[in-house]
């Protein structure tokens, strides 16, 4: 396919773009503590510019210290920020890219611990999710300070050499809060009618336009729908669009959702690809300027279709460009099978930033499928100084990634897997309802090991004799962490199964099932069983459900379990189960559930027994992933890549 629309140029005022592919603003956490640009941030954007994307948009950048949203966020509220971002724009331009800065104010979607004061908002109404502190209603003077702050930030954006500036008026941040009746209960000139609620947006566009003039275009990120009760609707977005253009907007970038909306503002795995494109079409019908479509547009085929249908003029391909910065190069070369796909898991690009129950909030982001993201300089692959024979034991995602990276460095690589198929637990994950897209990433991995000539041996159990026979120069041990069949006093062992038994179909379960453990694997196992028609109860000894997940993924998974009427107990333990009932202790109170029960355990134990035998031969051995300790594909893939770099 020629991708004539997607790869065609477009002019926006003074801005010439070589194709229609845009990387939208996405939080990274890569900036310095004071909001300044870092080498890490610069390297991240340069990689995407070198990969061929026409336009890169820097993440939501604070226009005022009280408008910051997360730790490691970019700032443009002081002239001291300009020099660092000048280095960024020069580097992107040197890589034949164009770059925009999105400027923003968080409003109620922040935390007092971050900004050192009570969050501000149009009215004292908390956000629907995540940032749930009650904000203080802004005075008219404070509103005008914000408008001027946007104007001053835009001046700095221009001085820093950016090719355009984007005003963030979406996703539940301050300008969107004023537009939304959910957040805006004011009775003055900034509340009530739609025109009044749009006043801050219009004044901000006018102020920004006054600051930058006709030298650089002004973009506006607009929600087509908030998807919450009382939120901004598509009809309102359509009515607002001409007002924004009249005030000076040169591009309308359409998105949707706020914190806690359904669908979410960042649609993840299981969401329809291109889900927000219909909103762009409605806005485009009234817009006299270019419109950008967004919403899980990860396939160039879908992007081309959206453009052909006249739904939009440009396409945001955000997470797709995180996963593969060379996306556009591969599209031009017609090598679509070599594009590393984003599966929308959100584990590292969203949940790391937002933080989980047990994690430090706002860790810098990464990518499950692309371990180099955010480490483009430090983790750049270089040819090995000496070609070696490498044996990778274990064909899960970590082992496969290790084999790929080692082969790319020039090593001779053999990959052994004891089972009849590659993929490990990621293959099991692809069986979970709504998680089928993991198979796309596996297909990519399989394609890469074939393309690179990795020798693959299936049904191969590696033992000391095999090591002696093959005599590799180094070994990467990626043998995982098998699920364990628990022993429960008073319960027939034939009633007890593992999560692997469920996913591989090696189980004959009763209609009633108890899953022991409410971590991600436990809850996803429960979801699979409920989809198979089982009556499922989940028992968790701890205080939290899915503590190994971030807030968005946890919310999505628990919501799915609720829809399937899965009972989930915390601070609970299973006492016994038989053909008539299950006895559960919940907060030290007995709870009986009638039925013929089976038990499913999700406990895992690392399998690294070969490591000592390998080391005793004098062969260097690198243990990675679950073989080191049970975790997720994210850590396994990172460690697989890291091990290959050391050999």
Q: What does the pLDDT look like over 574-599, one tens digit per residue?
A: 888 877 788 888 887 887 877 778 88
The residues assigned a catalytic role are 173
Q: In which band, very low, low, confident or very high, does the pLDDT at 248 lie, cut at 50, 70 and 90?
A: very high
Backbone angles phi, psi at 327, to 5 degrees: -50, -50
Let me know if 187 is exposed, middle or buried by CB neighbors in 10 A (0-12, 13-18, 19+). Answer: exposed
**Mean pLDDT of all residues in 638-643:** 98
pLDDT of residue 456: 99
- For residue 155 the two structure tokens come to 């001046």
How far apart, in whole angstroms, are the C-alpha atoms of residue 126 and residue 344? 28
pLDDT digits (tens, 9 = 90+) for 449-492: 999 999 999 999 999 999 999 999 999 999 999 999 988 877 88
Q: Do domains 10-354 and 493-601 have the same CATH topology?
A: no
Please report which residue ranges of 95-233 form alpha helices under DSSP H.
Answer: 112-115, 140-159, 174-179, 194-197, 199-212
Q: Is the pLDDT of residue 502 over 70?
A: yes
Q: Is the pLDDT of residue 417 over 50?
A: yes
Instruction: Enumerate the β-bridge partners of residue 498.
Output: 601
CATH of domain 493-601: 3.50.50.60
pLDDT digits (tens, 9 = 90+) for 108-139: 999 999 999 999 999 999 999 888 899 999 99
pLDDT of residue 361: 59
CATH of domain 389-482+606-646: 3.40.50.720
pLDDT of residue 523: 95
Backbone angles phi, psi at 120, to 5 degrees: -105, 150
Q: Domain ranges for the chain, please list them.
A: 10-354, 389-482+606-646, 493-601
Provide, rounded to the nearest whole percent, the portion of the chain with pLDDT above 90.
85
pLDDT of residue 357: 37
CA distances from 566 to 230, 429, 495, 515, 562 (A): 30, 19, 20, 10, 6
Report, at the CATH architecture level, how domain 10-354 is classified: Alpha-Beta Barrel (3.20)
How far apart, in whole angstroms, are the C-alpha atoms of residue 567 and residue 565? 6
Q: Is the pLDDT of residue 356 over 50?
A: no
pLDDT of residue 358: 36
pLDDT of residue 527: 94
CA angle 154-112-152, nearest 5°?
10
Backbone angles phi, psi at 3, to 5 degrees: 55, 50
How far apart, in whole angstroms, are the C-alpha atoms of residue 509 and residue 450? 38
Task: Return the minimum-mean-pLDDT range out of 48-57, 332-341, 352-361, 601-610.
Answer: 352-361
Backbone angles phi, psi at 382, to 5 degrees: -125, 150
């Amino acid at each position: 396919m020629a991708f004539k629309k997607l790869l065609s140029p477009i002019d926006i005022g003074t801005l010439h773009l070589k194709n229609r592919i845009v990387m939208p603003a996405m939080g990274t956490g890569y900036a310095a503590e004071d909001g300044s640009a870092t080498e890490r941030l610069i390297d991240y954007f340069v990689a995407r510019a070198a990969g061929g994307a026409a336009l890169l948009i820097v993440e939501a950048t604070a226009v005022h210290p009280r408008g910051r949203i997360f730790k490691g966020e970019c700032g443009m509220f002081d002239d001291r920020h300009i020099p660092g971002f000048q280095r960024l724009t020069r580097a992107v331009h040197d890589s034949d890219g164009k770059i925009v800065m999105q400027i923003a104010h968080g409003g109620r979607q922040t935390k007092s611990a971050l900004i050192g004061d009570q969050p501000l908002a149009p009215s004292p109404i908390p956000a629907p999710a995540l940032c749930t502190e009650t904000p203080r209603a802004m005075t008219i003077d404070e509103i005008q300070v914000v408008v001027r702050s946007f104007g001053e930030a835009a001046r700095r954006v221009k001085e820093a050499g950016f090719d355009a500036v984007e005003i963030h008026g979406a996703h539940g941040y301050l300008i969107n809060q004023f537009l939304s009746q959910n957040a805006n209960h004011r009775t003055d000139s900034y509340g009530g009618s739609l025109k009044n609620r749009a006043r801050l947006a219009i004044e901000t566009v006018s102020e920004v336009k006054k600051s930058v003039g006709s030298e650089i275009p002004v973009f506006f990120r607009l929600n087509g729908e908030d998807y919450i009760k009382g939120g901004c609707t598509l009809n309102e977005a359509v009515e607002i669009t001409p007002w924004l253009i009249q005030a000076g907007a040169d591009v309308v970038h359409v998105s949707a959702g706020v914190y806690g909306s359904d669908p979410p503002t960042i649609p993840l795995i299981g969401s329809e690809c291109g889900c927000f494109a219909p909103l762009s079409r409605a806005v485009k019908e009234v817009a006299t300027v270019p419109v950008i479509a967004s919403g899980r547009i990860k396939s160039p085929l879908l992007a081309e279709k959206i453009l052909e249908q006249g739904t939009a003029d440009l396409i945001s391909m955000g997470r797709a460009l995180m996963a593969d910065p060379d996306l556009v190069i591969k599209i031009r070369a017609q090598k679509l099978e070599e594009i590393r796909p984003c599966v929308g898991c959100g584990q590292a690009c969203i949940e790391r930033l937002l933080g989980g129950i047990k994690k430090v909030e706002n860790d810098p982001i990464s990518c499950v499928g692309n371990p180099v993201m955010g480490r483009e300089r430090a983790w750049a692959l270089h040819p090995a100084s000496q070609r070696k024979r490498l044996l990778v034991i274990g064909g899960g995602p970590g082992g496969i990634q290790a084999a790929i990276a080692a082969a790319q460095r020039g090593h001779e690589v053999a990959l052994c897997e004891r089972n009849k198929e590659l993929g490990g637990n990621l293959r099991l994950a692809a069986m979970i309802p709504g998680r089928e897209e993991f198979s796309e990433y596996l297909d990519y991995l399989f394609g890469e090991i074939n393309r690179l000539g990795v020798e693959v041996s299936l049904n191969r159990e590696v033992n000391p004799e095999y090591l002696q026979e093959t005599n590799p120069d180094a070994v990467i041990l990626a043998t995982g962490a098998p699920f364990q069949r628990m022993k429960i006093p008073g319960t027939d062992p034939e009633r007890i199964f593992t999560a692997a038994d469920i996913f591989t179909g090696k189980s004959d379960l009763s209609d009633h099932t108890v899953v022991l453990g409410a971590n991600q694997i436990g809850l996803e196992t429960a979801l699979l069983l409920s989809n198979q028609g089982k009556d499922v109860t989940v028992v968790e000894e701890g205080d939290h459900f899915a503590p190994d997940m971030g807030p968005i993924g946890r919310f999505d998974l628990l919501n799915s379990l609720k829809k399937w009427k899965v009972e989930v107990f915390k601070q609970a333990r299973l006492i016994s189960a038989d053909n008539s009932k299950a006895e559960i202790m919940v907060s030290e109170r007995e709870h009986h559930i009638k039925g013929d029960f089976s038990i499913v355990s999700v406990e895992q134990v690392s399998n690294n027994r070969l490591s000592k035998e390998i080391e005793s031969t004098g062969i260097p051995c690198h243990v990675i992933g679950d073989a080191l300790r049970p975790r997720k594909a994210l850590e396994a893939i990172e460690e697989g890549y890291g091990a290959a770099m050391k050999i």
